[in-house]
Structure 1
């Protein structure tokens, strides 16, 4: 519950700053969600590059470290066929 409250608080803080600056939220909800997906993916770019420059597999890094952060915990049966 704490991460949700922190997230809500951060969002409210940004909203207050927008209000003080006299600007509106920069995007409609769907575009904002796409932007959030970009933020989540973008956070992984620098660590992936550093991992690759260190001579390690970038694909393995993405599979082990990035996917959980970006997608969250996937259902246990997500790798099974739907049929």
Structure 2
């Protein structure tokens, strides 16, 4: 749980810094979230198929 809170806090901090410096996010939020979802799914595919094939 602590890891999630730290990750959220760092994300909020980066968002605040972007706002203060008037910097645009490198990717639109939905695109960034879709990319993160893809990373999470990709990390789980190999273990899933390893267990499925056994």
TM-score tier, shorter chain, comes to 0.5 to 0.7
Runs of 4+ aligned structure 1 residues displaced above 2 Å come to none
Q: TM-score with structure 1 length normalisation?
A: 0.40
Unaligned 5+ segments in structure 1 are 38-69
Please name the residue that 2:10 is paired with.
Answer: 10
Q: Report how many aligned residue pairs link the two structures.
A: 43
Structure number with higher helix proportion: 2
Q: Distance in 2 between matches of 1:9 and 1:24?
A: 19
Q: Distance in 2 between matches of 1:13 and 1:71?
A: 26
Higher relative contact order (CA 8 A, sep 6+): 1
Q: TM-score with structure 2 length normalisation?
A: 0.57
